Amino acid sequence: MANYAVGDLQGCFTPFLKLLSEVNFNPSKDHLYLVGDLIARGPDSLSCLEFVYQNQDSITVTLGNHDLHFIACNILGKQPNPKDNLSAVFSSKQCCSYASYLRTQPLAVFLEKQSTFISHAGIHPSWSIEQALAYARIAEKNYRSEEAQLFFENMYGSKETNFTPNKDPLTNFKTIVNIFTRMRFLESDEKLNLYEKGSPKSSQLQPWFDHPRFENEKTRYIFGHWAALEGKTNKENMIALDTGCVWGGNMTLLNLGTNEYILSK
């Protein structure tokens, strides 16, 4: 039995299959952790969803911003952005089933035996792992509830940059979702900057994983979302798995037991 983590699929189904073939992935005994953004931008989001749906007992998805946007569009009856390349998904008879399945998936997981925390964008440095998981459960309860439409209607926007849920439930939902699925840089007061998206080398802002809180910490943090990092954080316990396959880079798989990386275009 092996446990693997894979960076953002973004609809790049063929490289994904090549990676699984490289490690002889066996859904009857292996487990796959996908760090989110299964869909959008790439050529075959429908096949990515179908594979994950058919093998859901062997896969855990920590939802990304594109995944949540897909769910929101499905629930709210909205049209996706044309550049997201999701027409085949929304035309599929299984579209609602895929959205319902994704709503069962978490925003964050902690693998105690491997001392590994996984989420799409990371963890705010002011949050302990216990706090982060508790906040994730709050948002998960929101997007699985009968009131999910209301929460998704209020999910959007980049002005709410707080990092501590302490307001009304709708604002809390947005805050938690922004941390887990959109975070990259922090301002000097540790609030999120949701506008800067480039490389840390081109910004005066602080990447969340460079916060002093993480110095000498033994927990391993696995995330995606930030293709501009090109998989480089310069920190042994900070694993950036979005290596920009959809933009012409590699897709990256990590064996959580052996720490072996496998790359595929």
- The fraction of the chain above a pLDDT of 90, given in percent, is 86
Higher pLDDT, 216 or 261: 261
DSSP string, 9-75: -TT-HHHHHHHHHHTT--TTT-EEEE-S--SSSSS-HHHHHHHHHHTGGGEEE---HHHHHHHHHHH
Q: Decide if pLDDT at 71 tops 90.
A: yes
Note the pLDDT of residue 79: 85
Q: pLDDT tier at 159 (50, 70, 90 boundaries)?
A: confident
Which has the closest alpha carbon to 240: 257, 260, 220?
A: 220
Q: pLDDT tier at 207 (50, 70, 90 boundaries)?
A: very high
* pTM of the predicted model as reported, rounded to 2 decimal places: 0.95
Note the pLDDT of residue 103: 98
The tokens 């709503």 sit on which residue? 103
Average pLDDT for 203-214: 92
Note the pLDDT of residue 177: 96
Q: In what side-by-side order are the strands of the sheet with 238-240? A: 108-111, 116-119, 220-223, 238-240
Note the pLDDT of residue 124: 96
- 98 in Cβ contact with 89 (< 8 Å): yes
Residue 151 is part of a domain; what is its CATH number?
3.60.21.10
Q: Decide if pLDDT at 160 tops 80.
A: no
Q: Decide if pLDDT at 6 tops 80.
A: yes
Average pLDDT for 140-167: 89
Average pLDDT for 115-135: 97
Note the pLDDT of residue 20: 97
Show the domain range for 69: 3-264
User: Over the stretch 14-61, which tens digit does the pLDDT of each residue have?
Assistant: 999 999 999 999 999 999 999 999 999 999 999 999 999 999 999 999
Q: Decide if pLDDT at 167 tops 90.
A: no
Distance from C-alpha of 183 to C-alpha of 122, rounded to nearest angstrom: 7
Q: Amino acid letter at 74?
A: N
DSSP string, the chain: --EEEE---TT-HHHHHHHHHHTT--TTT-EEEE-S--SSSSS-HHHHHHHHHHTGGGEEE---HHHHHHHHHHHHTPPPPGGG--HHHHHSTTHHHHHHHHTTS-SEEEETTTTEEEESS---TTS-HHHHHHHHHHHHHHHHSTTHHHHHHT---SS---SS--S-HHHHHHHHHHHHHH--EE-TTS-EE-S--S-GGG-SSEEGGGSGGGTT---EEEE-S-GGGTT--S-TTEEE----GGGTS-EEEEETTT--EEEE-
Q: Decide if pLDDT at 251 tops 80.
A: yes
Note the pLDDT of residue 81: 84
Note the pLDDT of residue 125: 95
Instruction: Say how many domains are in the chain.
Output: 1
